[in-house]
Amino acid sequence: MATEFASSTIKLLMECGYLAACEGRTQEAAIIFQGVQAVRPSSELPAVGLGFAYLNAGYFPQAVAVLKNEALKRNPESSSAKAFLGIALKNLGYHDEADRLFSQIIEKNDEEAPVRLAKQLIHKTDPKELRE
């Protein structure tokens, strides 16, 4: 019988994954997010975290793959996944595809942080502007 983890434990692990990613510890972040995914297989959030870790490390193709093939497959409406995917796509030069995602996020207006990101990045094409 599988052990169920408390939501507070999952939240703490996710925070540890994001902290590792922000510190440039991509491999450690990946291990943490993959562990969370193992105990919450239907949630898109660990895949969003892994996508963020790859994005933060500049691994844009890997970020796109994880966000499209894992996070958005689990939750096609995830504004967070779409926002990070849009940033990765912008960095790869797919500005129109990214702007379509940003428009969807702005129109849906369901999560504050992704909406803010989308409004800041829509129609920007200079990679330096993406990091401001």
Q: Which class in CATH covers the domain with range 8-130?
A: mainly alpha
Please state the pTM of the whole predicted model. Answer: 0.90
Domain map (residue ranges) of the chain: 8-130
> What Cα–Cα distance (Å) separates residue 29 from each residue in 15, 39, 73, 123?
10, 16, 21, 30
Torsion, Cα of 36, 10, 14, 61 (10° steps):
30
pLDDT in tens, 75-128: 999 999 999 999 999 999 999 999 999 999 999 999 899 999 999 999 887 766
pLDDT in tens, 6-37: 999 999 999 999 999 999 999 999 999 999 99
